[in-house]
């Protein structure tokens, strides 16, 4: 008798990614995504394997979450020669990943699971895993097992799309992406991916400490606080942000931009532009990795127009900044999903998004959605919100409600439904006699990550 749905008792998940939970493996949002997704799946009871390019100094295989999450650190023998991070020695690691992962997956994960009458679901992430996914599919076909395994490959961005053999990948896997914006880009390439959004840890919904918010406001001593957290990249529209600060300053409104960028060279252009506009830029460095150290770094004489944070900002501190700010400028010109905007909403902050992948953003309901790259648009909306403070408070509350719909627990509900559809087309699940409702689920969607657990979130 065929199983009726995907449950923790009949399904094994396997995630493939270059990035992962190790500090060595975290380079951006991808590492955060696969870490939180794999953790949440395992906390929900699913046996979950994560294969990634791991820290060469740690165990090659590590069990966590009561043995439900198995970390497989790959390419460690190569990584020991490249200590700077996951993408150092990228080509050598990619070759080893493609040559060794498919065989390992077949012999040590898929065959044992199928022998126990388990469903196997493989989720590949980004262009680095495309060749391995295709080779796994080929191995499954040669072993008459392809119909026993569901394979989804996900595009988080358009990076290295030119390197992908799309015909082969489409034949081998079901393609997914993170937003309707990305789906439309891929439509133009003759592709039609399923949309499964990103998520945020449920722990981000915790209330922000109002005493710390008051302290931050008092220490800055200005009329308006704006903030922006992003890589120094032209797509992030940093120059639009600093030009808006200059326009507000010309109006006589004392404004500060709290800026947290990366290490990219575009940052020098942005800071030069800010100074050329007559803005005073101050670099803030923390002497210790504590909340007190961060506050001491920010506190000054109140004369800076741009406060350039030169220290790592953990999520707890970012949430304080987001909640304190009169607006957080997530105003990218190209944003496949926009995870920062959701993190701001979780902190009940006011976010200004672009008009690309931020499907969750509803103009003047839970956010301000910018339609142009003109800094006057930021200036206008800031003055509007200052004139109607009740609108700011209403938007903050709506933002918090929106964030609740995008926790990883909620995203996995979406994922499971898409997987069940694909699994039924492969004949692995029985077709239901009636249309299923969203509830109940065959497993409990409790809070997946206990409050005491550390959950990775974006810091830039």
What local confidence, expressed as pLDDT, does residue 193 receive? 98
Question: Is residue 460 situated within a structural domain?
Answer: no
Residues 354 and 214 in one domain: yes
Q: Using CA of residue 174, residue 178, residue 181, residue 185, what is the dihedral sign?
A: negative
Rounded-to-5 percentages of helix, strand, coil across the chain: 45, 15, 40
On the question of pLDDT at 439 being above 60, the answer is no
On the question of pLDDT at 446 being above 50, the answer is no
pLDDT digits (tens, 9 = 90+) for 261-313: 988 999 999 999 999 999 999 999 998 999 999 999 998 777 899 999 999 89
Q: What are phi and psi of 404, to 5 degrees?
A: -65, -25
pLDDT digits (tens, 9 = 90+) for 47-75: 999 999 999 999 999 999 999 999 999 99
Residues 180 and 213 in one domain: no
Mean pLDDT of 389-401: 97
Residues 114 and 179 in one domain: yes
Alpha carbon 195 to chain centroid, angstroms: 15
pLDDT digits (tens, 9 = 90+) for 240-256: 999 999 999 999 999 99
d(CA 459, CA 324): 17
Residues 85 and 158 in one domain: yes
Question: Is residue 451 situated within a structural domain?
Answer: no
What local confidence, expressed as pLDDT, does residue 434 receive? 61
Residues 359 and 417 in one domain: no
What local confidence, expressed as pLDDT, does residue 150 receive? 97
Question: Is residue 55 situated within a structural domain?
Answer: yes
On the question of pLDDT at 436 being above 90, the answer is no
Residues 193 and 327 in one domain: no
Residues 130 and 35 in one domain: yes
Residues 92 and 54 in one domain: yes
pLDDT bracket for residue 28 (50, 70, 90): confident
Question: Is residue 316 situated within a structural domain?
Answer: yes
pLDDT digits (tens, 9 = 90+) for 213-237: 999 999 999 999 999 999 999 999 9
What does each C-alpha distance from 48 to 14, 22, 216, 428 come to in angstroms? 6, 17, 41, 19
Question: DSSP labels for 178-197?
Answer: SSHHHHHHHHTTT--PEE--
On the question of pLDDT at 417 being above 70, the answer is yes
pLDDT bracket for residue 422 (50, 70, 90): very high
Mean pLDDT of 406-426: 95
What local confidence, expressed as pLDDT, does residue 100 receive? 98
Mean pLDDT of 436-456: 46
- Provide the number of structural domains found in the chain: 2
What local confidence, expressed as pLDDT, does residue 443 receive? 47
Please state, rounded to an integer, the average pLDDT across all residues of the chain. Answer: 93
Question: Is residue 31 situated within a structural domain?
Answer: yes
Q: Are 367 and 357 contacting, i.e. CB atoms less than 8 angstroms apart?
A: no
In this structure, what CATH number is given to the domain that contains residue 312?
3.40.50.2000
Question: Is residue 46 situated within a structural domain?
Answer: yes
What local confidence, expressed as pLDDT, does residue 437 receive? 52
Q: Are 175 and 418 contacting, i.e. CB atoms less than 8 angstroms apart?
A: no
What local confidence, expressed as pLDDT, does residue 430 receive? 82
- Percent of the chain past pLDDT 90, that is, above it, reads 88
Calculate the dihedral angle through the C-alpha atoms of 19, 203, 408, 317, rounding to the nearest 10 degrees.
-50
pLDDT digits (tens, 9 = 90+) for 128-137: 999 999 999 9
pLDDT bracket for residue 33 (50, 70, 90): very high
Domain that holds residue 259: 203-404
pLDDT digits (tens, 9 = 90+) for 86-108: 999 999 999 999 999 999 999 99
Question: Is residue 5 situated within a structural domain?
Answer: no
What local confidence, expressed as pLDDT, does residue 31 receive? 93
Residues 272 and 353 in one domain: yes
Find the range with the poorest average confidence among 107-121, 296-310, 341-355.
296-310
What local confidence, expressed as pLDDT, does residue 36 receive? 95
Integer-rounded Cα Rg, in Å, for the chain is 23
On the question of pLDDT at 238 being above 80, the answer is yes
Residues 148 and 120 in one domain: yes
Residues 183 and 258 in one domain: no
Which of the two residues, 442 and 52, has the higher pLDDT score? 52
Question: Is residue 264 situated within a structural domain?
Answer: yes
Residues 234 and 342 in one domain: yes
């Amino acid at each position: 008798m065929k199983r009726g749905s995907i449950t923790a008792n009949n399904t094994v998940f396997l995630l493939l990614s270059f990035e992962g939970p190790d500090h060595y493996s975290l380079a951006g949002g991808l590492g955060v995504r696969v870490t939180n997704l794999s953790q949440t799946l395992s906390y929900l009871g699913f046996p979950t394997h994560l294969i990634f390019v791991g820290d060469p100094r740690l165990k090659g295989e590590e069990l966590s979450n009561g043995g439900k999450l198995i970390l497989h650190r790959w390419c460690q023998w190569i990584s020991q020669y490249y200590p700077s991070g996951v993408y150092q020695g990228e080509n050598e690691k990619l070759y080893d990943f493609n040559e060794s992962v498919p065989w390992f997956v077949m012999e040590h994960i898929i065959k044992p699971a199928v022998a126990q009458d388990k469903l196997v679901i493989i989720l590949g992430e980004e262009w680095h895993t495309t060749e391995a996914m295709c080779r796994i599919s080929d191995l499954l076909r040669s072993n008459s097992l392809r119909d026993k395994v569901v394979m989804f490959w996900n595009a988080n961005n358009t990076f290295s799309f030119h390197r992908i053999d799309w015909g082969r990948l489409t034949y081998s896997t079901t393609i997914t992406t993170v937003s309707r914006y990305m789906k439309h880009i891929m439509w133009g390439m003759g592709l039609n991916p399923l949309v499964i959004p990103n998520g945020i840890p449920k722990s981000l919904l915790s209330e922000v400490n109002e005493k710390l918010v008051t302290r931050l406001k008092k220490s800055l001593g200005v009329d308006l606080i704006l903030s922006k957290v992003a890589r120094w990249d032209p797509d992030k529209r940093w120059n639009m942000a600093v030009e808006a600060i200059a326009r507000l300053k010309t109006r006589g409104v004392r404004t500060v931009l709290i800026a947290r960028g990366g290490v990219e060279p575009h940052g020098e252009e942005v800071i030069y532009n800010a100074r050329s506009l007559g803005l005073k830029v101050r670099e803030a460095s923390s002497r210790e990795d504590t909340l007190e150290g961060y506050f001491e770094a920010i506190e000054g004489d109140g004369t800076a127009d741009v406060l350039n944070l030169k220290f790592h900002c953990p999520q707890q501190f970012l949430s304080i900044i987001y909640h304190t700010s009169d607006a957080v400028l997530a105003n990218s010109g190209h944003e496949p999903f926009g995870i920062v905007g959701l993190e701001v909403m979780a902190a009940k902050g006011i976010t200004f998004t672009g008009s690309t992948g931020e499907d969750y953003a509803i103009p003047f309901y839970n956010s301000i959605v910018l339609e142009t790259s003109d800094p006057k648009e930021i200036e206008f909306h800031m003055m509007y919100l200052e004139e109607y403070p009740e609108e700011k408070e209403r938007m903050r509350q709506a933002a918090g409600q929106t964030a609740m719909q995008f926790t990883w627990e909620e995203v996995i509900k979406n994922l499971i439904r898409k997987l069940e559809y694909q699994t039924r087309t492969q004949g692995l699940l029985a077709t239901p006699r009636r249309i299923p409702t969203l509830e109940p689920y065959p497993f409990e969607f409790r809070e997946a990550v206990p409050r005491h657990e550390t959950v990775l979130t974006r810091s830039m």
